[in-house]
């Protein structure tokens, strides 16, 4: 029987940690087997700032996902975000020794490896090297160079860079939670896989993922990633503003934002008031919904304007770089009432809310098609592409059987035979794995290995 390709994505956010287990069904759609969610306690603005609390939150989410699905998680693909992420455009080339040979995957890998050796600022590391258009012997705008002839292979690259210490802290949390790290993906790229169609990527689109601590941006044009950015503001700063502006506690501010909040103050009448219970026998507080919306509006405008500055920095006003498909909003912040209208008003671009339901199987729980789960769905899709076997059924895990009692002399001999047999089995398994399909081993896999080595040596 062929082994099922079960994938696991782990979204370490500022407000929540989501572990999602899924596999492709016979129609090529994503079937979600189990989801675990926990409150994220050790993460601020997408960066781990308390290892112990983050480990506890990860373990809680992983355990819940395992209990819901009946699978045991071995390894995960993790989303990386945070204010330390930046991206650069870079062009590089290689001269091929034999132009009479067709260009193959090895040539492109050689070019990517060359970009990976770029000198970065101290403490920074390259996370993604994403090739854009290729140029062969001066012929430009080539999207797929494999199979062509040429001596000089050149390409423009979108290079995503992050702080090495932040990335390693994430790796440390995963490893300490008792699971392996099989891959890292930039969170806005994972969200793109979940909510954008190929037509939108071709036409030109900006994905804005409004999370709890950060707002992530990814811009596509002609099917190619053109620009990424992470803005260090998200839904949490809106809640903080409500807390300060209305003099209430954080929990009440969050509830007010979710239940009654709107990004458009004109929607509320002056006499609409909500009453909030006072603390420890104090008088209840009455809050005007119009004032609440004004507080939310001011902060959302600031976040959208920062994102729009990034879109303009990409060159959206140039007719050749125009984003015809406009903006797609996703993440928890996209659920705020009237945010779509506000974004359209500020940017003058067509806007829609992005739901990850297009790639989900028809019988999936409605909850998972919320923008809240866009990144987690994208990470599972990413893990499936890597052909990882990230989880196994709990009933398939072989429990060691109790050996029957034998005479002491026989016992030593039998045990030795058993040990030799186990050693031989382990060797065979290693052989099988080592002769697997290694062509797909991208730089990214090697980068994950590098993190694993670092963590092992740091013990």
pLDDT along the chain (459 residues), means of 10: 78 94 89 94 90 95 94 92 89 93 93 93 92 92 92 94 93 93 91 94 96 94 92 93 92 92 82 85 87 94 96 91 95 94 95 91 84 94 84 71 49 56 52 39 58 65
CB atoms within 10 A of CB 377: 32
Tokens of 14: 């500022």
Contact predicate 43/234, CB 8 Å: no
CB under 8 Å to 151, separation ≥6 — which residues? Answer: 95, 96, 99, 137
**DSSP strands (E only) in 273-409:** 273-276, 285-288, 327-330, 351-353, 391-393
Q: Rounded to an integer, what distance in angstroms lies between the CA atom of residue 75 and that of residue 10?
A: 10
Predicted local confidence at residue 425, as pLDDT: 53
Q: Rounded to an integer, what distance in angstroms lies between the CA atom of residue 111 and that of residue 182?
A: 24
Q: Rounded to an integer, what distance in angstroms lies between the CA atom of residue 299 and that of residue 450?
A: 40
Q: Rounded to an integer, what distance in angstroms lies between the CA atom of residue 213 and that of residue 236?
A: 6
Q: According to CATH, where is 3.30.420.40 located in the chain? A: 235-300
Q: Rounded to an integer, what distance in angstroms lies between the CA atom of residue 177 and that of residue 10?
A: 12
Q: Tokens 């004004």 correspond to what residue?
A: 294
Q: Tokens 């959208």 correspond to what residue?
A: 304
Classify domain 86-165 by CATH architecture. 2-Layer Sandwich (3.30)
Maximal CA-CA distance, the chain: 91
pTM: 0.83
Provide the pairing of β-strand 215-221 with 7-12. unpaired
CB atoms within 10 A of CB 439: 9
Q: According to CATH, where is 3.30.1490.110 located in the chain? A: 86-165
Strand partners, 205: 220
Strand partners, 157: 90, 131
Tokens of 221: 């044009």
Predicted local confidence at residue 430, as pLDDT: 42
Contact predicate 42/57, CB 8 Å: yes
Q: Does domain 235-300 have CATH number 3.40.50.300?
A: no
Predicted local confidence at residue 441, as pLDDT: 47
Predicted local confidence at residue 416, as pLDDT: 58
- SS3 of residue 280 by DSSP: coil
């Amino acid at each position: 029987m062929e082994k099922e390709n079960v994938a696991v994505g782990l979204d370490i956010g500022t407000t929540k940690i989501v572990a999602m287990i899924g596999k492709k069904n016979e129609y090529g759609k994503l079937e979600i087997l189990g989801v675990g969610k926990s409150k994220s306690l050790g993460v601020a603005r997408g960066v781990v700032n308390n290892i112990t609390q983050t480990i506890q939150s990860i373990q809680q989410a992983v355990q819940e996902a395992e209990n819901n699905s009946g699978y045991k998680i071995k390894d995960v693909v993790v989303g990386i975000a945070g204010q330390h992420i930046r991206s650069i455009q870079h062009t590089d080339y290689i001269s091929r020794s034999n132009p009479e040979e067709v260009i193959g995957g090895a040539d492109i890998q050689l070019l990517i490896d060359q970009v990976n050796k770029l000198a970065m600022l101290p403490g920074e590391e390259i996370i993604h090297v994403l090739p854009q258009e290729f140029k062969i012997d001066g012929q430009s705008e080539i999207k797929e160079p494999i199979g062509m002839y040429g001596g000089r292979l050149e390409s423009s690259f979108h290079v995503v860079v992050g702080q090495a210490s932040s990335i390693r802290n994430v790796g440390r949390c995963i490893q300490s939670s008792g699971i392996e790290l099989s891959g890292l993906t930039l969170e806005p790229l994972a969200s793109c896989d979940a909510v954008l169609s190929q037509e939108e990527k071709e036409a030109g689109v900006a994905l804005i993922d409004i999370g709890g601590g950060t707002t992530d941006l990814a811009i596509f044009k002609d099917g190619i990633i053109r620009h990424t950015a992470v803005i260090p503001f998200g839904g949490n700063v809106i809640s903080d503003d409500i807390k300060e502006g209305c003099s209430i506690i954080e929990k009440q501010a969050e509830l007010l934002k979710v239940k009654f909040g709107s990004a458009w103050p004109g929607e509320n009448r002056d006499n609409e008031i909500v009453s909030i219970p006072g603390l420890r026998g104090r008088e209840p507080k009455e809050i005007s919904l119009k004032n609440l919306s004004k507080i939310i509006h001011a902060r959302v405008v600031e976040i959208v304007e920062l994102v729009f500055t990034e879109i303009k920095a990409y060159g959206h006003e140039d007719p050749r770089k125009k984003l015809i498909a406009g903006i797609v909003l996703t993440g928890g912040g996209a659920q705020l009432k009237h945010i779509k209208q506000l974004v359209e008003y500020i940017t003058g671009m067509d806007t829609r809310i992005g739901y990850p339901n297009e790639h989900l199987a028809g019988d999936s729980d409605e909850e998972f098609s919320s923008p809240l789960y866009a990144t987690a769905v994208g990470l599972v899709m990413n893990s499936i592409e890597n052909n990882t076997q990230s989880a196994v059924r709990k009933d398939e895990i072989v429990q060691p059987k109790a050996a029957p009692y034998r005479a002491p002399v026989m016992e030593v001999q039998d045990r030795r035979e058993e040990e030799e047999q186990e050693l031989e089995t382990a060797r065979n398994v290693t052989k099988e794995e080592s002769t697997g399909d290694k062509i797909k081993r991208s730089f990214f896999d090697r980068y994950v290995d590098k993190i694993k080595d670092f963590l092992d040596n740091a013990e």
